[in-house]
Amino acid sequence: MEPGFAERFGKEWVAAWNAHDLDRVLSHYEDDFEMSSPIIRSLMGEASGKLKGKPAVRAYWAKALKTIPSLRFELLTVLAGVNSVTLYYKGHSGLAAEVLQFSPSGKVSRAFAHYAEWQA
């Protein structure tokens, strides 16, 4: 990962979310990326907590934005790893972290969302 990439990515990711621009958000991801989140279970009724592919995740995120129209993230810090980035931020229900794994193309191939105060 080139120096500064993680920080730039984190700022752009949060800006895209705060603009509620799903096309812009999804531009960071591979077409067949996999998303894992406890919210997928409750919001989408998917017991595994996982979705695969942009169409499935787009439907999930569109529903989330409709459910929480005031959704806004505040980026607290960005952690860089080996082909991965962790975004630590404050969301509508408290602290959250997303671990994003990158493919060789430079787009996210897998994403794992974690919440400090998540309630099913």
In angstroms, the CA 78 to CA 74 distance is 12
d(CA 18, CA 70): 9
* Per-position b or e across 85-101, b if 16+ CB within 10 A of its CB: bbbebebeeeebbbbbb
pLDDT score for 53 = 97
Helix/strand/coil for 55: helix
| Cα angle value 53/67/86 (rounded, 5°) | 50
pLDDT tens digit sequence for 5-44: 999 999 999 999 999 999 999 999 999 999 999 999 989 9
Is the domain spanning 5-115 CATH 3.10.450.50? The answer is yes
pTM of the predicted structure, to 2 decimals: 0.91
**What are the pLDDT digits (tens) for 57-104?**
999 999 999 999 999 999 999 999 999 999 999 998 899 999 999 999
